Each structure stands twice: as structure tokens, then as C-alpha cells.
């Protein structure tokens, strides 16, 4: 039985509610590439841009992290993100082609870029070290459960009639808006900093460089994550056309393997991962998870070339491995920066961590599209496997230094 103090109880309650409604939003967004391919028959270039939108929008996280100074500013930003970042999805009812969806998605992800760093401040300040990983794991389980429920229902509705798309995405946007209202209710045990900062374009970048110089382990941690990110974003650009054109899967089937399986495993393994992080170093768990992703990408790429198992059965098996691996990666992706921040404000480290996704977001999806077009799907998946293997080695080498 968890014995939570009053701050932890209130934080956990509102974060659960945020996770619930944010999961409904994510259930719709998780199918964005498939919707572009199946409903709008968008070319691979449009799908690749859609894959790039989330990481590229994270570039601005480093500026959010630099200027987030006190709780009042952060609460106001939740309202701004809800109004300008989530409610624009209501405009989806007017969309007629894939290109029109891209700017709405970019706006959504742009305003999402500061939410993750601020969440880290909440976890760092409001949860004790002993309970942080477990409480976060439980919240992520709720998020995963409602993501899979949302995506499953959306997949069924789109199979019935994909003209429901506009209404569905509008409802998802409203759910995302509600989620941020709950997040704004959380009071942060803030370290007061009344110093006003002027906007300087390069200062956050210089701060990041200095942090890497002073904290070599954090630098190696980010190098490993960047290599992993190259692999995951590369194959994410390939998977939509692979499942739609080569494997011939429906909305419901793709929703099942890409979202349902992932989130049902998340809902089971995230609390376990949070518990294990108390006894097994998170860097070790992440390094092993990267190796599982190496297996996933290799198996998925080889699926059409084997005749031992059914093609769709092999796809399902591959995505089960993917889901188990990502359960280990996600915990470290969200909370790893707290470990390296130590007594400093984790919002800065997490904003650096999130912003670096823009680097691989700029390079990896176009690389995946080029390899797929110039060679074939298998070559792209094997390239992703190479990145995962290298990232696993780098992360496990980091473990030896700690």
C-alpha cells in the first residue's frame, strides 16, 4: 500500500486525470500517418513530413526550458497550450487533403514542447525519490489504457466510414484541452527565482553546450538517445507504407498492432518498470531495451521474406517485442534527465533532452524515405537495426562509468 503525503496525493490525482484525457488525444494522433496514407492517399513525402513534425517542434523546448522561471508563468502556459495547441484540432472538420492536416499537427506539437519539461519539474519537486518512478509508471499505465481504447474505437469508426475523421480529431483536440486544465491544477513545490531573463537567441544553446562540458555522463546519455532516435524515427517513416501497401492491413489491424499492443503492454509493464528502476539501474534497462528494438526492426523487415509464420502473425509478434522494449525506453526518456540534473532544476535538462529530438527528426525520416525509395523496405529496417545496436552498446558502456 502506497503511503503518500498530501502533495503527492493531489499531484497524483490530477496527473491521473491529465493522463486519461491526454490518452484519448494520443489515440487519435497515433494514427495520423495511417490516416494520411489510407484516407487522403498522401504521397510518402507527406507521411515523412508528418513523422518529422513532432521531433522538429521539440526544437523549441530548449527555449521553453530557459524561460520557465516560476509557477505562475507555467500555469498560464498550460491554458495557452490548451487554447492554441489543442483546440485547433477542431478545424479538422474542414480538412480535404493530407497537406492541410500538417500545419494543425505542427501547432499541436509546438505547444506540446514545453509540457514534458514542466511535467519533469512536477515529478522532481512533488514526488519523493522512492515513489517517483512507480507513481509515474501508474500514470503512464492510465495514459496507455485510454490511448488503446481511443485508438481501437477510432480505428473501428474509420473502417466503417473514414468521413468521421474530422469529428473524431475535433473531439480528440477537446479532450487534450481538458487534460491541460487538470494539469494546471497541480501546484509545484517551486524554488523561487525572481530573476528576469531577457530573450537571447543563442543563450539556451550556449547553456546546453556548457552543461555537456560539465556533465560528461549526461552528454553520453544524450548521444545514446540520439542514436536510438535516429533508428526509431527512420523506421517510423517506413512503417505506414509498409503496413498499408505491402502487408495490406486495415485501419483496425494497424491500430491493433501499432497502438493496442503497445499500450496494453505499457499498462502492464510501466508500473513494473517503475518498480524495477528502484533496484536495477535505469541505464541498464534502457540499454537492454535498445537491443530488443534491434530484434524488432530486424524481424519486421524480414517478415515478407519468411514463410514459416503467417505474415500478419509475424507483424504482431514483432510489435509485441517493440512494446516490451519501449516500456523500458519510455521511463528513462521521461525521467532520466532528473537523475542527471541531481539538485538542479530538471526542466532545463529535460528541455535539452526534448530539443535534441529535433536533430534526429530533421535527419532520420528523410533518410528512411531515401533508403526505402532508393533500395527497399528491408534496407531501411536493417539500417534502423544498426542504429539500435550501436545505441545499446553506447548506453551499456555508460553504465560502466556510473
Closest CA to 115 of 22, 225, 209, 226: 22
Asked if the structure places residue 86 within a domain, the reply is yes
Q: Provide the grid cell at 179.
A: 487534460
Asked if the structure places residue 270 within a domain, the reply is yes
Could you give the 3-state DSSP secondary structure of residue 378? helix
User: Which CATH number does the domain housing residue 271 bear?
Assistant: 1.20.1250.20
For residue 71, the model assigns a pLDDT of: 47
Asked if the structure places residue 197 within a domain, the reply is no
> DSSP labels for 129-189?
HHHHHHHHHHHHHHHHHHHHHHHHHHHHHHHH-GGGHHHHHHHHHHHHHHHHHHHTTPPP-
Please say whether the beta carbons of 179 and 21 come within 8 A. yes
Q: What is the DSSP letter of 246?
A: I
Q: What is the DSSP letter of 260?
A: I
Helix ranges restricted to H, 242-342: 251-255, 261-276, 282-302, 311-341
Asked if the structure places residue 198 within a domain, the reply is no
H or E element in which residue 69 lies: none
Question: From CA 117, how far away is CA 188, in angstroms rounded?
Answer: 13
Q: Provide the grid cell at 354.
A: 526534448
Question: From CA 221, how far away is CA 398, in angstroms rounded?
Answer: 7
**308 phi and psi angles, rounded to 5 deg:** -80, -45
**Unique residue bearing C-alpha cell 530573450:** 199
**What residues make up the domain containing 243?**
6-187+204-401
Q: What is the pTM of this model?
A: 0.76
CB count in 10 Å sphere of residue 397: 13
Asked if the structure places residue 196 within a domain, the reply is no
Those residues whose C-beta lies under 8 Å from the C-beta of residue 302, and which sit 6 or more positions away, are: 378, 381
End-to-end CA separation in angstroms for the chain: 32
Q: Provide the grid cell at 83.
A: 487554447
Those residues whose C-beta lies under 8 Å from the C-beta of residue 225, and which sit 6 or more positions away, are: 333, 353, 356, 391
Those residues whose C-beta lies under 8 Å from the C-beta of residue 277, and which sit 6 or more positions away, are: 133, 285, 331, 335
Could you give the 3-state DSSP secondary structure of residue 197? coil
Asked if the structure places residue 150 within a domain, the reply is yes
Q: What is the DSSP letter of 89?
A: G
pLDDT tens over the chain, length 402 residues: 568 888 889 999 999 999 999 999 999 998 898 899 888 988 888 988 888 888 888 776 666 655 654 445 566 778 888 999 999 999 999 999 999 999 999 999 988 877 777 777 788 788 887 788 788 888 888 988 898 899 889 988 998 888 889 999 999 999 999 999 999 898 876 555 555 555 565 666 677 778 778 878 888 988 999 999 999 999 988 998 899 888 888 878 887 888 788 878 877 777 776 666 666 777 888 999 999 999 999 999 999 998 888 999 999 999 999 988 998 888 787 777 777 767 676 666 777 777 788 888 888 999 998 999 999 999 999 999 999 999 999 999 988 876
**333 phi and psi angles, rounded to 5 deg:** -60, -40
Question: From CA 315, how far away is CA 33, in angstroms rounded?
Answer: 18
Asked if the structure places residue 132 within a domain, the reply is yes
Overall size of the chain counted in residues: 402
For residue 14, the model assigns a pLDDT of: 94
Asked if the structure places residue 376 within a domain, the reply is yes
Total domains in the fold of the chain: 1
Helix ranges restricted to H, 343-376: 346-355, 357-374
Amino acid at each position: 500500500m502506497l503511503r503518500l503525503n498530501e502533495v503527492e496525493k493531489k499531484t497524483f490525482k490530477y496527473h491521473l486525470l491529465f493522463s486519461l484525457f491526454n490518452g484519448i488525444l494520443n489515440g487519435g494522433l497515433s494514427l495520423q500517418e495511417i490516416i494520411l496514407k489510407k484516407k487522403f492517399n498522401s504521397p510518402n513525402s507527406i507521411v515523412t513530413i508528418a513523422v518529422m513534425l513532432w521531433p522538429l517542434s521539440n526544437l523549441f523546448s530548449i527555449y521553453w526550458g530557459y524561460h520557465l522561471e516560476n509557477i505562475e508563468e507555467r500555469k498560464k502556459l498550460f491554458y495557452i497550450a490548451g487554447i492554441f495547441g489543442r483546440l485547433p484540432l477542431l478545424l479538422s472538420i474542414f480538412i480535404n487533403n493530407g497537406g492541410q492536416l500538417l500545419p494543425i499537427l505542427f501547432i499541436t506539437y509546438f505547444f506540446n514542447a514545453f509540457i514534458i519539461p514542466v511535467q519533469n519539474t512536477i515529478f522532481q519537486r512533488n514526488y519523493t525519490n522512492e515513489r517517483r518512478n512507480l507513481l509515474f509508471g501508474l500514470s503512464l499505465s492510465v495514459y496507455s489504457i485510454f490511448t488503446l481504447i481511443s485508438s481501437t474505437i477510432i480505428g473501428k469508426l474509420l473502417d466503417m466510414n473514414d468521413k468521421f475523421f474530422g469529428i473524431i480529431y475535433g473531439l480528440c483536440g477537446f479532450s487534450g484541452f481538458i487534460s491541460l486544465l487538470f494539469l494546471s491544477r497541480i501546484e509545484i513545490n517551486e524554488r523561487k527565482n525572481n530573476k528576469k531573463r531577457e530573450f537571447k537567441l543563442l543563450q539556451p544553446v550556449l547553456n546546453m553546450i556548457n552543461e555537456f562540458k560539465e556533465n560528461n555522463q549526461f552528454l553520453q546519455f544524450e548521444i545514446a538517445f540520439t542514436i536510438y532516435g535516429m533508428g526509431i524515427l527512420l523506421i517510423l517513416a517506413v512503417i505506414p507504407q509498409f503496413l498499408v501497401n505491402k502487408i495490406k492491413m486495415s485501419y483496425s489491424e494497424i491500430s491493433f498492432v501499432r497502438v493496442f499492443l503497445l499500450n496494453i503492454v505499457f499498462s502492464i509493464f510501466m508500473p513494473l518498470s517503475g518498480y524495477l528502476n528502484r533496484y536495477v539501474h535505469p541505464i541498464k534497462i534502457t540499454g537492454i531495451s535498445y537491443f530488443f528494438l534491434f530484434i524488432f526492426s530486424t524481424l519486421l523487415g524480414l517478415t515478407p521474406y519468411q514463410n514459416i509464420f503467417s505474415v500478419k502473425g509475424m507483424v504482431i509478434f514483432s510489435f509485441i517485442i517493440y512494446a516490451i522494449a519501449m516500456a523500458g525506453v519510455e521511463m528513462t526518456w521521461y525521467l532520466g534527465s532528473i537523475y542527471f540534473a541531481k539538485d538542479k532544476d530538471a526542466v532545463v535538462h529535460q528541455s535539452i533532452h526534448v530539443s535534441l529530438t529535433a536533430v534526429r527528426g530533421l535527419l532520420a525520416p528523410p533518410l528512411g524515405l531515401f533508403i526505402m525509395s532508393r533500395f527497399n523496405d528491408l534496407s531501411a529496417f536493417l539500417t534502423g537495426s544498426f542504429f539500435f545496436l550501436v545505441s545499446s552498446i553506447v548506453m551499456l558502456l555508460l553504465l560502466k562509468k556510473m
